[in-house]
Every structure is written in structure tokens, then in C-alpha cells.
Structure 1
Amino acid sequence: MKRTQQGFTLVEIAIVLVIVGLMIGGLITPLSAQLEQRRVGDTQKALDDAREALIGFALRNGYLPCPAVSASNGLEDRSENRCRGERRVGYLPWATLGLSKLDSWNRLYRYSVSPGFSDSAVHFNFQTARDISIATRDGGGNLVPATLANDIPAVILSHGKNGFGASTDQGTLVADTSATNQDEKVNASSATAFIARDASDNPAAPGGEYDDLVTWVSPYILFNRLVAAQRLP
């Protein structure tokens, strides 16, 4: 008796491929989200390390470093006792501090320092002026100035995944692809006023899309370390 050989029909194969595709798609999305979360975590740790490096620099030298010379030269750009051309915002001086140059998205960190704290001729003290502030948004989305920190010596930030305001390793400025990211625009252009808030990819959110990561040097921690090291008063 002849046996009829059974096999998959084209329809059955198509159904199997659809199911496999859905399964793979379901795996890719969580993996992508996990990878992005890891990048955020790694960059936040790098920012925390940068803050500690700035405090360590101040302990050794009695002042904070100037911004870097350029995107390719990570040494602080100092002319005699002050930042060259009185420039107080730019790239984090990674080479001077012994840090990694780029964040997890391969872009340079932004850095701003209060001028009185970068003056190497007159070392800063408790009365030295601090002019940087960090605002945030409350539960209703209202901008609350200087809520997180006021009158701080220095701030370091990563411009996050979208990179608006950041520079690549070659010094190319990342283009802005949004018309609504107002808070990111503040961080990309200001030397003294910055905004730190929860990340959002919603253009309709107050302040627009936002993925910047912001860290700052607390004057209280800085002064406490200097007092403990007998560098102050």
C-alpha cells in the first residue's frame, strides 16, 4: 500500500514564520530597552566619577579646572591664572582629570565652572561667588528655578541619547531634530542656568523631550572635603 507523505503546506510555513517573527520582535524590544538603560547607568556613573575627580582636583590645587582646550585636546584651557578668554563653559577637561573622554553615546561631556572657583591666583573660599543654578519641573510640569541646587561651583552633563547640544569625538555639533525640547535647549546654550528632570520622549510634555543627565559639585561637600584636608579655612 502506498503511503502518502505528509509535509508542511505553504500556509503553515507562513504561520510559523509569523509566530517566530513575533517572538523575535518581542525579545528585541526588551533587549534594546535594557541596553539603553545600561548606557544611562554607565553615563550616570561616569558623571559621578567626574564630580569626584573635580573635588579631588580642588583638594590638590585649591581651584577647579577650566574647560578643555578643544574636542581633541582634553587638557584644561588655562592662560596664566584664569581660563583663557574668561571662558567658563565648554568640554569637561577629561585629560586633566584622568577621565574617559566620551559618554555612552560617544559624545563629549559639557562642563561649566563659576569663574571665582577656577582662578588659580586667588584660591576660592567660603565667600567666593557661585553663580550656577539647577532648576527642575514640579508634578504639574511647572518650571521651578533653583529647586535642586543654587549657587553651585560647577556642573557636568551628558546630552543623552539624542545628543542635542553635544559634540562628537571629532567636534561636530549634533543637530537639533526637535522644535519642542526647550529644556534641552537651555542646557545646550546656558553657562549658569541648567535644568535637570525626568527623561521623556513626549514632545507634548512640559519642556518637551528630554534625556539630558545633569550632575553638579555641591559647595557643601566641596568645602567639607577641603576643611577635612585642612585646605580651608
Structure 2
Amino acid sequence: MNIGVLPRLTLARGFTLTELAVVVAIIALLIGGMLMPLLAQDDVRRSQQTQKQLKEAIEALIGHAAANGRLPCPATAASNGQESFAAGGSALNGNCSNFQDGFLPAATLGLAPTNSNGLLIDAWNQPIRYAVYTGTINGVVNPFTRIDGAKGATMPELGKVDALSICVSATGIAAANCGAAARLADRAPAVLLSIGRNGAIGGGGADEAANLNGDAVFVSHDPAPAGAANGEFDDIVVWLSPNLLFNRMIAAGRLP
């Protein structure tokens, strides 16, 4: 009797753990390779959107000065987007509660979008900060935030005084000016600041810290990674040109 040869059986089998790990690693690399450009593009988009907001805010500040003869005081986290005066302060004396470490008064200026505290937010949902010069010029205290203070101080004297300074690095700066650091501006009546993508956690570097210490000196330069000499930097800083402010106030009859 012939004994037939049994047909050969082909056994199906699944992936081994090693093979699965390789597949997962390849997929992760592919996704990571796609995500990095997307994240970079998102940062660029948010940065451009925020820069547009800051330019619009500068125009709103100039408009307020032209209409009221003064710049508004900064808001606080508790002032619901309204400018905040110190005890006994008012538009008549321009005495703000926090001249150089406050927020843009969105409600006073009629700007949006705002957060639950009424503060204008940037594209990273962080409140936009605002600083305005405090000091005495030609015998006039708080000349930029009191009604017709700039007129009383006179343009020639306003043009001589170091107001808010913007430097290219925190290295070598002083509390009142850029010191040994190169400067971008040193007579700015007001400064606007977006603390950027890392604002929620804080960059921790010297340059970003200089923008949040409440003095009259700020730092602005191109974005820098965490390994940079003065730490990560993604702040966006813009400032009000005194000449532009004077020009618009002259046109509105608020100067000279």
C-alpha cells in the first residue's frame, strides 16, 4: 500500500515583539519628522499674529494720547482691563499703581481678545504686558500719563531724557539704562511685551528675566534656544517712538 505524502502545512505567524518595536520606532520617527516642521510653522504663525496685535496696540496708545493728552496707566491683574491708578492717583496727576510691570489696559483702549481678567492676550493666550515711563521732566511729574503732561514738560526737554531703554542683551545692563550693552532705543515713552510660547513656564534666562523685573530696561533680540548664553528667548518687544507720538499729538492739537 502506498502511503501518500502529507501536504506541507504553512503556518501563519504574527509579528514578534522585536519586529513590532522596529515598526513602532519607524512610525515614531516619521511622525516626529512631520511634527517638528508643523510646530515651527505654528510658532511662526503665532509670532506674526502677536506682532500684528502689538502694532495695533501701539496705534491704540497713540490714539489715546491724541484724544486725552496722555498715555494710559498700565492695568493690573485685578483691574479688569482698566488702567490702574495708585491711591490718590488720577488722570490729573498721572500716578499709576505700577508703571513698569503692568498689563496693557485692553478695556480702556477697546482692544480684544481678552482673558477672564479683561487683559489682552497674545497668540499663546498670555496677557500682553505694558510699561510706561515714570519720572520728572522739566518739573513735570509723570509727564506721559498725566493730562497735558507732555505739553507742560515741552518737547525739547522730553527729547533729552532717557525714558525706557531697550537693549540687545541683559549682560552689562543697569537698572536705569543699557549700561555697557548695545541699545536699540533709550527714550521710549512706553514698551509692550509678549512673553511668548514659553511664557507659561518661563524661560529662566537672563534676557527674559530682564523684561519682567519691573525696571526701566528691557531686552529685545531674535529668538534664541535654551542653550544660548543668556538662556532661551522668545519674547516679542515693541516700543513707542517718541517722535511718532509727538507727531500725532501735534496733529491732534495736544502739542506743543
The answer to whether the aligner puts 1:49 opposite 2:56 as a matched pair is yes
**Quick one: which amino acid aligns to residue 193 of structure 2?**
L
Corresponding pairs, count = 218
Q: 1:177 to 1:150 in 2, by over 3 A?
A: closer
**How much is the aligned-residue C-alpha RMSD, in angstroms?**
3.0
Q: Note the C-alpha offset of 1:121.
A: 5.2
Which residue, 119, 122, 139 being the options, matches 1:103?
122
What is the correspondence of 1:118-137 to structure 2 with a 5 Å cutoff?
A: 118-120=145-147, 122-124=149-151, 125-126=154-155, 127-128=157-158, 129=161, 131-137=163-169
Q: List gaps (5 residues or longer) in structure 1.
A: 164-173
Deviation track 1:192-224 (CA, whole Å, cap 9, x = no partner) reads 111111111233x23222111100000111112
The answer to whether the aligner puts 1:185 opposite 2:185 as a matched pair is no
Sequence identity of aligned pairs in percent?
A: 41
Name the structure with the higher strand share: 1
Question: Match of 1:87?
Answer: 98
Q: Note the C-alpha offset of 1:57.
A: 0.9
In 2, the alpha carbon distance for the partners of 1:36 and 1:96 equals 29
**Quick one: which amino acid aligns to residue 118 of structure 1?**
T
Which residue, 229, 232, 238 being the options, matches 1:209?
232
- For normalisation by structure 1, the TM-score amounts to 0.79
Q: List gaps (5 residues or longer) in structure 2.
A: 1-6, 113-119, 134-141, 174-179
Task: Out of 26-35 and 115-124, give the one that drifted further.
Answer: 115-124
SS of aligned partner of 2:167: strand
Q: 1:160 to 1:110 in 2, by over 3 A?
A: same
The answer to whether the aligner puts 1:226 opposite 2:249 as a matched pair is yes
Q: 1:16 to 1:70 in 2, by over 3 A?
A: closer
Q: Note the C-alpha offset of 1:227.
A: 2.6
Q: 1:6 to 1:197 in 2, by over 3 A?
A: farther
Q: 1:26 to 1:8 in 2, by over 3 A?
A: farther
Q: 1:83 to 1:68 in 2, by over 3 A?
A: farther
Q: 1:53 to 1:5 in 2, by over 3 A?
A: farther
Structure showing greater Rg = 2
Deviation track 1:67-117 (CA, whole Å, cap 9, x = no partner) reads 114345111113322344563121111111112311122221111111320
Do the aligned partners of 1:71 and 1:91 also contact (CA within 8 Å) in 2?
no
What is the correspondence of 1:138-153 to structure 2 with a 5 Å cutoff?
A: 145=181, 147-153=183-189
Do the aligned partners of 1:130 and 1:153 also contact (CA within 8 Å) in 2?
no
**Quick one: which amino acid aligns to residue 74 of structure 1?**
G
Task: Out of 24-33 and 51-60, give the one that drifted further.
Answer: 24-33
Do the aligned partners of 1:112 and 1:155 also contact (CA within 8 Å) in 2?
yes
Which residue, 194, 198, 201 being the options, matches 1:162?
198
In 2, the alpha carbon distance for the partners of 1:148 and 1:182 equals 18
